Amino acid sequence: MKKNRPQTLKEKRRNFIIKWLLYLLVMAASFLFMTVTDIPMPLFHIPIAICIAIYEKSELTSAFIGLLCGLLTDVACGKLFGFNGFLLTVVCMFVSLLFLYVLRHNTVNYFIVDSATIVVFGLLDYLFFYAMWGNDINGRIFIFSILIPMLLTIAISPLMWFLFRIIHKYFGIKKEHFMAEQSEDIVRE
């Protein structure tokens, strides 16, 4: 495949299908990895949803992926079904609009947005499931059930960014830029 020629419709369709199959494969693999053990695990679906929301241009697609990843997180963590789904839907739509109109697609912006999202998710999880009911008297639940998965999730976030960056680079729709050439044969009167 030559680098300078535009993609054909067949290549665009093929890349679209491969890209979404890879997205779904990564989501399924992370879901299986989260459900295999009982030790504190990173919440893989938050960085996955944020990465897809950054690279996809449609807010509706980002919201749907946020809902899917949130529901997978709810099932994997044994939380109230729909809690993370609703939150991640709103966050992904916001992130999609933020990166579409305000922020540039770079690692620093991703890491700031992703870390803030993970911290907010961890604190809301602690507030609604433990602190509100007075279950965490000495802070052990916060440290072992909230803080450790939060830090692990922040630690794997750059890996997810580079994985989805590679997927988007090779299977995303290429932006085609055409430069208008000035013709010297034009006679102006």
Q: Mind listing the pLDDT tens digit for each residue in 147-173? A: 999 999 999 999 999 999 999 888 877
Return the percentage of the chain with pLDDT > 90, whole number: 57
d(CA 157, CA 121): 15
Which tokens sit at 70? Answer: 């949130």
d(CA 111, CA 108): 5
- pLDDT tens digits, residue range 62-82? 999 999 999 999 999 888 899
Segment 52-58 shows an average pLDDT of: 90
Amino acid found at 46: I
- Chain segment 92-148, per-residue pLDDT in tens: 999 999 999 999 989 999 999 999 999 999 999 988 888 888 877 777 888 888 899
3-state helix vs strand vs coil in the chain, percent to 5 = 70, 0, 30
